[in-house]
Amino acid sequence: MALIFKTDIERGGAWRAAFAKQLPDVELRLWPEVGAAEEIEYAVVWQPPAGFLASLPKLKAVFSIGAGIDHLLADPELPRGVPIIRMVEPGLTVGMTQFVTMACLMLHRSMILYRNQQSARHWEEISQEPPENRRIGILGLGHLGGEAAKALRGFGFPVSGWSRSRKQIEGVASYAGEAELPEFLSRSNILVSLLPLTPQTENMIDAKLLAGLPEGASFVSAGRGLQVVEEDLLDALDSGRLSGAILDVFREEPLPKESRFWDHPKVIVLPHVASMTNPATAVGSIVENIRRIQRGAAPLHQVDLEKGY
């Protein structure tokens, strides 16, 4: 029995060490050293080449190294009968909670304006809003969005979230479905996107959606770049409807050199680093699922291909 993992070269050693400790009974193979394909039962992958998973005849489960699984659905030969498991692990969750908290605090405390003032050697105090006046709305109140919402609530921000199904998170207002989106948007001074990429969420953050936010709202993009109509976002920033944006994901990554986001005075650009899976903590989640599959139980966090996440 073998497990193949495909990750970036720098973290390959950390993955191998963590697997070796917790899965001594499984042979580990680091892609592209595939070996005998018929011996591989588990694949732990990020952006596998199209057709690779289909070439493994005994595959029992595919583990995505990232929370998003759009990199797998992009493979036209993805074996549909094999369970796909998205990444839910403590390190990724903590990292995203840190990122969303940091981004919201930066916007709340006018850090983009202060950065610009510093570049111009300009000394001026900007008035501070109390947190209770800054309402934060999270698009995607799932695993990551829910934890971020709890952390933000701890700073005294009124927090709400939007998802397909209603959630019960203490102190967090839950809005569900298309019909409740306008009300959710109208109370979001800072809008955070943590949605998965699906046909329903692609191009969803457009001029119409942004027009539903309060005047001067700001935006944090950490879901997927294809959810955002970038020209509409730039128009909203240029016209002053939006006061700032912290963007971690883009339609095209790496962000092309000619993109206007790079030197937009209201924007902070990050290279898709909001959070990263930590091999030391992620291996525990993967091993737990392998053991479940081995004893015939359903794996946790299996992707529903109908829903697309």
**Residues with active-site annotation:** 224, 272
| Residue 68 binds to ligand OXD (criterion: CB under 6 A) | yes
Q: Which parts of 77-136 interact with ligand NDP (CB under 6 A)?
A: 92, 96
Beta bridge partners of 85: 63, 302
Among 63, 157, 184, 309, binds ligand NDP (CB under 6 A): 309
The H-or-E segment that residue 23 falls in is none
User: At closest approach, how far in Å is the CB of 125 from ligand NDP?
Assistant: 33
Site for ligand NDP in 209-248 (CB under 6 A): 222-224, 248
User: For residues 18 and 213, which CB has a smaller minimum distance to ligand OXD in the complex?
Assistant: 18
CA–CA separation, 67 and 277 (whole Å): 8
Region binding ligand OXD by CB under 6 A among candidate stretches 33-41, 66-74, 205-213, 290-298: 66-74
Q: Helix or strand or coil: residue 177?
A: coil
Residue type, 275: S
195 binds ligand NDP (CB under 6 A): yes
**Burial annotation 77-97 (CB, 10 A radius, 16+ → b, else e):** ebeeeebbbbbbbebbbebbb
Contact between 104 and ligand OXD by CB under 6 A: the answer reads no
User: Least Å distance between CB 37 and ligand NDP?
Assistant: 29
Does the footprint of ligand NDP cover residue 145 (CB under 6 A)? yes
Per rule CB under 6 A, is residue 279 in the interface with ligand OXD?
A: no
* Distance from C-alpha of 174 to C-alpha of 185, rounded to nearest angstrom: 12
In the complex with ligand NDP, which residue's Cβ is closer, 173 or 195? 195
Asked if 272 interacts with ligand NDP (CB under 6 A), we say: yes
Whether the CB-CB separation of 85 and 59 falls below 8 Å is answered with no
Alpha carbon distance 11, 188 (integer Å): 38
| Binding partner of 18, given ligand NDP, ligand OXD, none, CB within 5-8 angstroms per partner class | none
Residues forming a β-bridge with 27: 2
The strand pair at 2-6 and 40-45 is best described as parallel
DSSP letter (8 states) at residue 26: S
Q: Measured in whole angstroms, how far is the alpha carbon of residue 129 from the centre of its chain?
A: 28
Question: Which strands make up the sheet holding 159-163, listed edge to edge?
Answer: 172-176, 159-163, 136-139, 190-193, 217-221, 242-247, 267-269
Q: Counting contacts by CB under 6 A, is residue 164 touching ligand NDP?
A: yes
Q: Which stretch binds ligand NDP (CB under 6 A): 30-38, 109-117, 195-203, 250-258?
A: 195-203
Minimum distance from residue 96 beta carbon to ligand NDP (Å): 6
Judged by the rule CB under 6 A, the positions of this chain that interact with ligand OXD are 66-68, 87, 92, 276-277
Judged by the rule CB under 6 A, the positions of this chain that interact with ligand NDP are 66-68, 92, 96, 140-145, 162-165, 194-198, 200-201, 222-224, 248-249, 272, 274-275, 309
